[in-house]
Structure 1
Amino acid sequence: MSPVLPFMLQGLREKYPGLRVDVQFIGNEAMKLGLNNFALDVAMTYLDKADLGRKNTLPVYSEQLSLLVPDTAEFQNRKTITWKEAAQYPLAMLRSSMHERRFVDQVFAGVGCVPEAQIESESILHLMFQVQFTELCTIIPSHFAHAPGLHRGTRALPLVDPIVSQEVGLFWTEGEIMLPMAGAFVSIVRKMNKSGELRKRLEGDHATVYDGPTRSRATTI
C-alpha cells in the first residue's frame, strides 16, 4: 500500500475523465499472472524483491523506515533511534509471511536482534492504531509521517545504524506493443518524477524520488 498511488492515479483520471480504476492488493504470484495474461495493466511493488519474471520497470521512490512510537516523554527529545534500541520495545509487526516483515527481520538479525512481535497483522494501518491507543511501537515507511500523516498521539523516529531502504517501482509486461492504459500511466508517472511532483508529495521525509530511465530486469523475492 503506497500513499503516493492516489496522486499518480489522480493524474491518470484527470487525463482520462470517466476512467474507472480498479486497485487490487494482491500477492506476488497473482501479480505475475495478471501481468502475463494482461489482466493487469501495471503493478507496483519493490523493485529488487519482486519475482515477476522479465518485465519493464520504472523506479518511483526509495522507501526508508521509521519506528512509530507513542508521543510520550520517553521519546520527546529523540530525533532518531537505532535498530538495536527498537528491538527492546514491545512491537506490533506485519505478519512473518509478508515481504516487508521479512526485510525488517533481516535488518534486526544483522544487528544481532530477534524481537518478538506482541501483535501481528497484515494491515499496517491497524498496527499504527495499536501505537496510537496502546504502549506498542511499530515500523512504518518514513514517508508515512507526511503522506498519509501520523495518527494523533504518535511520532516517527527514523531508524539508523543501519539506515536501510528499498526501491519501489512500476512493472508492466515486456513486448513490442504496450497496453494503452499501461502506457498512459507510465507516462504520467514519468512526468510527475521529472516535474518533482512526487518529491513534493513526499516532502519532509526520507524518500528519494527517481527520474531515471526505464529498466528491463529479472528480479527475485
Structure 2
Amino acid sequence: MIERLEFILALARERHFGRAAQFCNVSQQTLSAGVKQLEERLGVMLVQRGSRFQGFTPEGERVLEWARRIVGDTRAMRQEVASLRRGLSGMLRLAAIPTATPIVAALTTPFRAHHPEVRFSVQSKTSGEIGRLLADLEIDAGITYLENEPLGRVTAVPLYRERYRLLTAVDGIFGTRDTVTWEEVGRVPLCLLTPDMQNRRIIDRHLTNVGRASEPLLESNSMIVLLTHVRTAKWASVMPAVLADSFRLSERVRSVPIVEPDVSHVIGLVVPEREPMTPLCASLIVEARAAAPTIADDIASL
C-alpha cells in the first residue's frame, strides 16, 4: 500500500506517468499497474486518463492528501526507529528563498556539530515552491517569509526581520546618501528580482503604498545579474540587508538603508506540522530556536 501511495505522490509531482515512474525507479507499466490496483482496492477512479496524464479526479485529490499524510508518517516512523538504533543520520533536505540563503549556514553548522552523521541538501527556491515541496514531502524544511502569504500547515520558528537597502554605485543615483525613502527609490532606474519571487512582490507593494509604480527596467532571478548591473552606475536595485552584506560590496557599490517608512518582514524556518515530528525536523527546530536570537541580533546590526 505504501509503495502505491508513493506512486500517487510521484504522479502529483511530475504530472506525467513516465517521469513519475523514473522518479520512483520503476517501469511505467509497474507504476500504472500500482495506481490501478489502488483504484480497485478503494473502489474509485483516482486519475483522469487519456493519451497523457490529465490530473486527478476529486476522489484522487482527497486520496492524494491522505497519501501525503500516511507516507509522511511512515517516513517519520522509519527515521525515528533508525535514529534510536544508530543515532541521528541521513539527509536533511532544506530549501530557502534566495534572499535568505546567507543565513543557512547559521543553522546547518551547529546542527552538524551536534549530529555529525547528518548530511544536507540545500536548494534556493521561491516561497511558493517551498510550500509545494513541503506539501509533497520533497523537502524536510524551508526558510521563507512567515507573514505575507499562506504557508499551509506548518510549524514555524521566526529567525529575523528582513529590512531593505538600495544598492547603488558610489557615483550613481543617491550614491552619497546615508538613507533614501521608498518614494525616492521609485524614481530610480531599477533592476529587480522577477515577480515570482515574494521579495519582488513585497517591494512592489511598498512602492505602490508611496504612490510609485514598480516598473523595473530589468528583471532577473539572479542576484549576480542584478549586482553586475548596479556596478555600471546606470542602474540600482533593492535587496535585503543580509543579502547586501553577504556580497561584501566593493568600494564601487553602496548599500543605502531605505526609510520612510522603515518596513520589515519576518523570515523563519518552517517544517510540516506533524505529530510526532521526524527526528531530523525536531532537531532542526531545536537548533533554529537556539540560533534565532544570534541571527536576529547580527542582522539587526547591519
**Band of TM-score, shorter chain:** 0.7 to 0.9
Is the strand fraction higher in 1 or 2?
1
Pair 1:81–1:7, CA change in 2 (3 A): same
Q: Does the alignment pair 1:14 with 2:113?
A: yes
Q: Which moved more, 1:12-21 or 1:68-77?
A: 68-77
CA contact (8 A) 1:41 1:172 kept: yes
Provide the rounded CA distance (Å) in 1 between the counterparts of 2:107 and 2:116: 14
Provide the rounded CA distance (Å) in 2 between the counterparts of 1:33 and 1:157: 35
Pair 1:73–1:133, CA change in 2 (3 A): closer
- Post-superposition Cα deviations, 1:105-155, rounded to whole Å, max 9, x if no partner, equal 111111111142111101223212211234210001022343343244100
Pair 1:204–1:72, CA change in 2 (3 A): farther
Cα deviation, residue 76, structure 1: 5.4
Provide the rounded CA distance (Å) in 2 between the counterparts of 1:35 and 1:73: 42
Identify which of 161, 169, 188 aligns with 1:89: 188
Cα deviation, residue 14, structure 1: 1.8
Residue equivalent to 1:212: none
Q: Which moved more, 1:11-20 or 1:107-116?
A: 11-20
Pair 1:50–1:20, CA change in 2 (3 A): farther
- Post-superposition Cα deviations, 1:15-51, rounded to whole Å, max 9, x if no partner, equal 2224221112234454334323433211111001242
- Post-superposition Cα deviations, 1:163-216, rounded to whole Å, max 9, x if no partner, equal 1111101111112211111111111111112xx4324543631xxxxxxxxxxx
TM-score, normalising length: structure 2: 0.62
**Higher Cα radius of gyration:** 2
Residue equivalent to 2:259: 160
What is the alpha-carbon root mean square deviation over aligned residues?
A: 2.1
Pair 1:141–1:135, CA change in 2 (3 A): same
Provide the rounded CA distance (Å) in 2 between the counterparts of 1:126 and 1:172: 31
Identify which of 115, 134, 142 aligns with 1:35: 134
Query: 2:228 is aligned with what amino acid?
Result: F
Query: 1:104 is aligned with what amino acid?
Result: I
TM-score, normalising length: structure 1: 0.82
Size of the alignment, in residue pairs?
A: 203
Pair 1:128–1:120, CA change in 2 (3 A): same
Residue equivalent to 2:249: 150
Residue equivalent to 2:294: 197
Greater relative contact order (CA < 8 Å, ≥ 6 in sequence):
1
Pair 1:115–1:13, CA change in 2 (3 A): same
Is the helix fraction higher in 1 or 2?
2
Percent identity (aligned) = 28
Q: Does the alignment pair 1:70 with 2:169?
A: yes
**Structure 2 counterpart SS, 1:106:** helix
Provide the rounded CA distance (Å) in 1 between the counterparts of 2:209 and 2:172: 29
Residue equivalent to 1:49: 148
Identify which of 223, 236, 242 aligns with 1:124: 223
Provide the rounded CA distance (Å) in 2 between the counterparts of 1:136 and 1:70: 8
- Post-superposition Cα deviations, 1:68-112, rounded to whole Å, max 9, x if no partner, equal 010127645411001111121111111123211111111111111
Provide the rounded CA distance (Å) in 2 between the counterparts of 1:123 and 1:15: 33
Query: 2:248 is aligned with what amino acid?
Result: G
CA contact (8 A) 1:68 1:154 kept: yes
Runs of 5+ consecutive residues of structure 1 not aligned to the other structure: 206-221
